[in-house]
Amino acid sequence: MVDSEQVLGCKAPMGLVLVLLLSSLLGPLGQAQAQDCEKPMRYTMSLTGEHIQKEHFPNGLVVTFECATGYRSTGGSGKTTCAAGTWTTSTLSCEKFNCGSLELVNGHVEYSEGTSFGSVATFSCKDGYILSGREKLTCGNTEWLGRTPTCSVVKCDSPPSVDKAEGPSPKRDLYDFASVVRYKCQKDYTINGSASLKCSSNGKFTPNPPTCLMVRCKAPYIPNGSQKSGARPPYVHRSLVEYECNPGFKMEGEGVMTCQLNSTWSSTPECKVLPVDPTSSPVLPVDPTSSPVLPVDPTSSPVLPVDPTSSPVLPVDPTSSPVLPVDPTSSPVLPVDPTSSPVLPVDPTSSPVLPVDPTSSPVLPVDPTSSPGDSKTSSQFLWFLVLVPIVLAVAIGLTLKKRGSQSLRAPVPLEEDKIL
C-alpha cells in the first residue's frame, strides 16, 4: 500500500487518499483486461455453441467443453474461464467410445485396434461356409457402422459334362461342400486331367473338368535297331517298348520309350556305327542268312574263310584215330569211281605187297593149270601181277583222302576177315 503522506509530502485530504488507494488497487486489473485468450485445445474435447468458430476470446469469457466425437464423458464439468490470457482448468473427463466385440457364427472376427472408436473388424468364414454381407465394419461414435455378416454352408452347382466320358457321378443339381464327383472316359479313350472334382469353399468344383483323348502312337522305327521287349500294337497311352541296336552299332538316347498323351513317343534313340580301331583287323560284313558269329578267343589261331563249295567240317570224334598229314611229295590221290567195286582193307596179317621196280623185268608167276607153251594165259597173269600193286596204292590213297576230308566223322573199323 502506498503511503499517501509520503507520496504527497504532506498530509492530504481524506478523499484524495481514497482516490489514490483505488488507483493503486485497480491499476493491475485494468491492464489484465486488455489480454485476450487463444482458442482452447483439448484432444478429447470440443467447444460447444457459438464459440466453436472463434479464434480469440476476451478476458473473463466463460466457455463450455464437451467430449469429442467417439468419446464419452466419465464425469466433471466442461466450463473454463479466460483470465488474463489463460484458461482455467476444467474438470470434464472423456474416454474413447467402445463398440464392443462382435460374433460370427461359423466364422472368425479380427480387429485392427480392439473394439474402440475407429477400429475396423474383418470377417471370414470357416472352411465349407461362405460369407454373406460386408467383409469389414468400422466402430463409429455410438455403434458398429453396418450389419454383422453371416456364414452360410457352401453349395456348388453341378459341373459340366465331358465329351466321350460318363459323368459327373453322382448327378445332382446342388452339391454340399467337400462333395466329390467323378468322370470315366469311354472305351479306347484316355482321360487327360483329374478324374475327380471336389466342391471347394468358394462354391466351385476344382480342379477343372478333364478331357478324353484317343491316344495311338505309331510303331517306332529305329534304323539299325530292333525291339528287345515291351508292348505290341496298338500302342495306347503309357505303352512301353525297349529297343536295342544291331551288332556294330551304338545307341544314343534312351532305348526305353513310352507312348504319351499327344500320341508321340517319349524319346527317339539313334543307332550309330561304332568307330573303327585303326589297329584292329577289318570287320567283314555279316551274312544275315548265316548262323550267329560266337565270340573269338584272342589267343586262338585265326579263323580262315570257308569255301562255300566245300563239304562241311564235321566235329571230330575224340575216340577216333588222328588224321595224318598228306606228304606233298607223294603221288596225288585220284577220286574213287562210285561205280567201281569197293576197295577192301588190307589184312595186316598178310604178307606185304612189295612195290614193283619199273626198270626190272616182270616176274611172271607159273600157272600150275596152264601148259608150258600157253602164251595167252601167261600174258593175262602177268598184267594181273602188275595192276594189283597199282590198284592197292590208289585205293589206300583214296581212303586216306576220304578220311582226311571227313575227319570229323566216326572212323569205320577195318574188316580184317576180308582179304584181297
Q: End-to-end distance of the chain based on CA atoms, in angstroms?
A: 194
Residue 251, pLDDT > 90, answer: yes
- Is the same domain home to 348 and 410? yes
Tell me, yes or no, whether 6 lies in a domain.
no
Phi-psi region of 114 (alpha: psi -120 to 50; beta: other; left: phi over 0): left
**Pairing label, strands 205-206, 150-153:** unpaired
What per-residue string of b and e applies to 7-38 under the rule 16 or more CB within 10 Å gives b? Answer: eeeeeeeeeebeebeeeeeeeeeeeeeeeebe
Listed range (14-18, 122-126, 183-187, 232-236) with the worst mean pLDDT: 14-18
Tell me whether residue 63 is in a domain.
Answer: yes
Residue for grid cell 562255300: 308
Neighbour-count burial of 131, counting CB atoms closer than 10 A to its CB (0-12 exposed, 13-18 middle, 19+ buried): middle
Q: How far, in Å, CA of 150 to CA of 27, rounded?
A: 73
Residues 6+ apart with CB under 8 A from 221: none
5 lies in a domain?
Answer: no
- Are residues 172 and 231 located together in one domain of the fold? no
Q: Look at residue 34 and tell me whether its pLDDT is greater than 50.
A: no
Which one of 45, 69, 94 terminates a domain? Answer: 94
Clarify whether residues 331 and 383 are in a common domain: yes
CA distance 153 to 130: 6
From 254, 273, 292, give the residue that closes a domain: 273
Banded model confidence at residue 15, pLDDT cuts 50, 70, 90? very low
Cell of 45: 474435447
Q: Per the domain annotation, does 233 fall within a domain?
A: yes
pLDDT at 45 over 80: yes
Please give the residue range of the domain that contains residue 403: 324-420
CATH number (domain holding residue 230): 2.10.70.10
- Tell me what pLDDT residue 382 has: 63
Report yes or no on 179 lying in a domain: yes
Instruction: Report whether pLDDT(395) > 90.
Output: no
Please say if the pLDDT value at position 9 is more than 50. no
Q: Which amino acid is at 407?
A: S
Higher pLDDT, 64 or 355: 64
Pairing of strands 225-230, 211-213: unpaired
**Grid-cell match 595186316, residue found:** 348
Both 147 and 161 in one domain: the answer is no
Asked whether residue 300 is assigned to any structural domain, the reply reads: no
Q: Looking at the structure, do residues 353 and 412 belong to the same domain, yes or no? A: yes
Residue 352 has pLDDT above 60, yes or no: no
Question: How does pLDDT run across 275-311, given as a tens digit for each residue?
Answer: 876 676 555 554 556 553 634 455 555 544 545 555 5
Instruction: Mark which of 190, 213, 236 sits at the end of a domain.
Output: 213
Domains in the chain, number: 5
Does the residue 259 lie in any domain?
A: yes
Average of per-residue pLDDT across 125-143: 92
Strands (E) located in 58-106: 62-67, 71-75, 79-83, 86-87, 93-96
The reply to whether 133 and 167 lie within a common domain is no
| The C-alpha cell that represents 295 in the structure block | 565270340
| Domain contains 401 | yes
